[in-house]
Structure 1
Amino acid sequence: MNYMGGYSIHIELKQLKGDEGLDIYNMLQDIDQEENGFINSVHGKTFEEFKEWLDESNHISCEKELIDGWKVPTTVYWLYVDNKPVGMGKLRHFLTKQLQEEGGNIGYVILQAQRNKGYGKIILRELANQATKKGLERVLLTIRKNNISSLKVALDNKGRIIRENEERYYIEIRMRSK
């Protein structure tokens, strides 16, 4: 139970299982296909295509090495508030050189109508906890310079800017010391 704004709410991060239904499908239809670098490949797809995507995503989360020579094993999570999905997160188990430049280990998105309620900070914290459970000592986030909200969320989660270029900040969050 979490207390926000003086009242209690139930917040839960759930890993994709493959049997998700209309609540998740509808949420994904309300999230743009691309926003601040976060790719929602289900936006605009049919429910049947969504179910296929769930199966593929579930399979990819179990892999240990590159898939098809380029896809990194990734686990998808849903953020629920009072039993309603409000956001989606992705955790890449390791990074290629390309993902070190553009992508990072963690990506997340919160429904437009649910923003500015602290859920971004919560989902990032919970995704970092999941990374720790997978044995990662640190995670990298790449944040576009115009995405000030995500930069603030990352810094509020003990992230630190390790470098930047014209387009992005590179934020590292360490979960354990070596």
Structure 2
Amino acid sequence: MTKKSGLFDVDFSLITKELTTTIKGEEVTTARYKHFSEALGTIVNQMEVSCYRPRTIKDYNTVLMNFSKSTGVTFLEDITVETIYSWLDSMQVVNQTKLTRLKVLKSFLGKCFNNGWLSLNFWQLINVKVDKKVKKGAKPNDIAILVSLIDKSTFIGLRDVTAILTMYKTGICINTLGQ
């Protein structure tokens, strides 16, 4: 069986040296230092093309420009775990707001990583602990009052009372009950 030579055959002997040196790390041919503002502009354009809401894009831009100004970051490579923590520490806001802003920064860095501008995703382990408010449970008397206010002579009323009592007695989620 002989191999035919065709129009689309590629001679790999020319690229082999370039490929091996890149794999060994001897030579870096990509644009290593990406400007933060350039990366942000590209990401915002990608978000616009992907039909993100204008409010989301505006908030994204605001948080990231604030990050750049307060940390003095000019290149993506300047961003480290220390700069992120110092930025979070400099904020005089509640932890929920810090968490929201951190999510925006992590999303941005993830997009930069996916675009090939960052080689490590070091930001994954950074987190802000937020105390979640525990909702007070309903008392049997509260359920009795609610059930007494619903008209059980109609199908919808009977359905609602059944759902309320099932959720209260079993703890099942409303979404699961609806399915």
Q: What range is the shorter-chain TM-score in?
A: under 0.3
Q: Which has the higher strand share?
A: 1
Normalised by the length of structure 2, the TM-score is 0.28
Normalised by the length of structure 1, the TM-score is 0.28
Which structure is larger by alpha-carbon Rg, 1 or 2? 2
